[in-house]
Structures are given as structure tokens and as C-alpha cells.
Amino acid sequence: METKNSTADFLDRMYKNVKMGSDSIINLMPKVSDEALRSEMTKELHELEGYSSKIGKMLHEEGRTPKEEN
């Protein structure tokens, strides 16, 4: 049972960090005028959203609900 809790705790921390990265990009986007940079940021945001979705599913499999930091 220790391993399951360790895995869920690890996934929970990963989820929070990925969401923090997504939130940072979202907050910075309005301040960026360079189209090439905005394009890269958009690609990164889509990747992070994909990761958060996968991690969220894994958390559900562990019996947990993904939680975001306030």
C-alpha cells in the first residue's frame, strides 16, 4: 500500500507542477507580442495540457482527484 500512496503523491506533485507551468504561460501570453515566441508558447501550452490530462487520468486510477494550487 505504501507504493500506491507514493505513486499517487508523486503524480499529484507532477500534476500541480504541470498546471503551474500552464498557468504561467497563460498569464504571460498577453504580454508577448512576438509571433514566433507566441507560437512556441502555444505549442508548449498544448503539450502541458496533454500531460495534465494524462496525469489526471493516472491519478483517477490511483483513486485520487487532481488538485490545483490556489
Q: CB count, 10 Å around CB of 11? A: 21
pTM: 0.82
Q: Comparing C-alpha atoms, which of 21, 15, 17 is closest to residue 53?
A: 15
2-28 vs 35-61: helix axis angle to the nearest 10? 160
Q: For 42, list phi and psi in degrees, rounded to 5.
A: -65, -45
Radius of gyration for the alpha carbons in the chain, expressed in angstroms and rounded:
14
Instruction: Give pLDDT, residue 4.
Output: 64
The pLDDT value given to residue 53: 96
Average pLDDT by consecutive 10-residue portion of the chain (70 residues)?
A: 77 96 97 98 98 96 82
